[in-house]
Each structure stands twice: as structure tokens, then as C-alpha cells.
Amino acid sequence: MFLLIGFGTEGTFSYFRRYVAEQDCRYDILDLAELRFCDSAEISYRPHDLSVTIGNKSVEFNNYTAFYSRMYYSRLGSPVRNDALSRLISAVTSYLEDTERLVVNRPSAGTGNINKLVHLRTLSKYGFRIPQTFIYGTGQSARQVVRADGKWISKSCSSIKTKAAVLDEALYSKLDNLSVCPSVFQQRIKGADVRSHVVGNEVFSERILSSRIDYRYADGSETPNQYEAFDIPPHIAAACLAYCKDQGLLFAGFDFKISEEDGDWYILEANPMPGYHTYDRRLDQQISSALKKLLAGSAPEPFVTANRRPSVNPWNNGIS
């Protein structure tokens, strides 16, 4: 039996929760969103042993053979609820880091994407091609390289979610604000986007044709995005798998651009907690299916398997 840990109100988590509810598998849920409304909560931690109670629901972690975690901090509306979530994350993190059971993903896996430049440096070691990327801290330094010619994208340095923007005249005129805090500038790669999800040893990819700067956000473009299932080149798939293996990731989402100039593949990011549900809907739930198989498949199988253990039926005078 596997345990899903996350916010029942969050898109990807509730999507996977609905998916497994329709499958023939044993699972349980630790819904962190319940912390917002519960009367009480309790955490009992010893190494390799954790129990959590939120309201009336208790979860003994050692009862599960595998875990899927989409945990992160969020403000819950009161200091005591915020503290409960923070401590709960700390306790679950510790348990998931130390347990020998299957965890998708261990909290320490692939966390380098908190820092965009450091993350790209790590990815470059796996043979991925990286767009030219700079952090500038003064307008003067930035103006030596970047131009308001549509060939540069502005992003944040950290993992704070920001919308990428093309460096246009309006942004260019504000470059001196970089002295307030530095920011990332990245060569704009024009061409199709590809999103690949690695689940265990499988790779599921989708190509996105979009006229937007960032296909995920509407920006006034008239043309709708086009999506299609896509096979990525073997050397790119191999690099994704190698990265996941080294980082201890069982599940990750990779973002690529295919340059329309030369056909080269550029990596933008590898996400250790991918919000994958919109892609999965279009890919006939292949990602969810692989994820469920990974989690359910880790249950230990006894020597005498279920098909050799017929149930006893008292209404049928013997064995049914």
C-alpha cells in the first residue's frame, strides 16, 4: 500500500489522487490541506518511525511500502497551523530521507533548481546544451551584452515563480534597476517547446508549438498552442535518465527548446516536483499509469502469491 502526501486542493495532487481512486490498488492519503481546517494535529517522530494525525485521520508511515510526496510550505492562516505544517514537513522529510522504502521523490533529490544558474551548470555536465545565461547586477554590465532586440529573456535568479519576459525597449530602459537586485538574462531560443517526464526508466514527451514567450501563460497571442506526443532523440533521453539516476530522482519534468535556427536541443530546467497533470491528460494518462505502477509495484510479494490464496466463503460451504 502506498501513501500520497500533498494538498488535496492542489491541481496535480488531486488529479493523481482521482486517477489512483479509479485503479485497482491500495493507497492512502495524507492531505496537508486538512491542516487549514482541523481542530487538532499531532506529530510523533523517532528515526524510522513517524505517525501523524490531522483531525481524525491518523497515518502510521511504517504501514506503507511506497510514498508519493508533493509537500511544500504554504501559509495556512494562523501561527499554530503554519507551525504545524512546518514541523510536519520537517518530520516527513526526515522519514522520507531515511526510509529504505520507495519514495517519489526523496526531498533532497534534484533540489539544485532553487538556483537557476547553478542548476544549469549541473545540467551542462550531462551533455545538455544550455542557452547563454547571465546574472547581471548593474545596468552598465548588462548593456554590454544584451539588447532590446527580442533575443533575450529576463527571469529570476531563484526558484520564485516568475513569468519569463522578452527584453523589449520598456524593460531595457529599466536595466539600472538591476542594482536593486541582480537578475537572470538568457538567450532566447525560438522554436518548439518539449516537455519530457521521466518516471523510473520511462520517458514521456510532448511537443508544444506556441506563439507565446512562455507557452504556459497566455500573453495576448491569438494562435492557440498545439500539443502532440513526441519521441525525443535517444541521446537526450539517455541524458535525462542519467541526470535522474545521479540526483536520485524517480520522477522529473524536463523543459527543452528546439532551436528553429539549427535544430539543436536546449535545456531550460529539470523539475523534481513536476506539475504534470495537464500533459498527462493529453498523453492518455501514461504518466499517471507509470507513476502508479512504480508506487504499487514496490509492494513486497510473498512467496505464496495472491492467486494461490483463495478466499474462504462461509456461504458456499467451502472454498470458493
Residues found near other proteins in the complex (CB under 8 A): 35, 38-47, 78-81, 83-84, 87, 89-91, 93-95, 97-98, 107-108, 111-118, 120-121, 124, 130, 132-138, 141-142, 156-158, 160, 180-183
For other proteins, the closer of residues 141 and 210 by Cβ is 141
Q: Considering the complex, what minimum distance in angstroms separates the CB of residue 34 from other proteins?
A: 10
Q: Which C-beta is closer to other proteins: that of 76 or that of 290?
A: 76
Nearest CA among 192, 198, 208 for reference residue 278: 208
Supply the minimum distance, in Å, between the C-beta of residue 132 and other proteins: 8
CB nearer other proteins, residue 137 or residue 297? 137
- Phi, psi at 312, each rounded to 5°: -90, 125
Q: Report the DSSP beta bridge partners of residue 207.
A: 194, 228
Would you say 170 or 180 has its CB closer to other proteins? 180
Quote the least distance from Cβ 296 to other proteins, whole Å.
26
Nearest-CA neighbor of 232 among 200, 261, 192? 192
Cβ(30)–Cβ(52) under 8 Å? Answer: yes
Q: How far is the CB of 2 from other proteins (least distance, A)?
A: 21
Backbone angles phi, psi at 195, to 5 degrees: -115, 125
Q: How many CB atoms are located within 10 Å of the residue 158 CB?
A: 12
Cell of 199: 518516471
* Residue 152 near residue 175 (C-beta atoms within 8 A): no
CB of 201 to other proteins, least distance (A): 26
Whole-number minimum distance, CB 220 to other proteins, in Å?
25
Q: Which is nearer to other proteins, 76 or 283 (CB)?
A: 76
The separation between CA 97 and the C-alpha centre of its own chain, rounded to angstroms, equals 17
Nearer to other proteins, 116 or 277 (CB): 116
Dist. CA 213–CA 167, nearest whole Å: 11
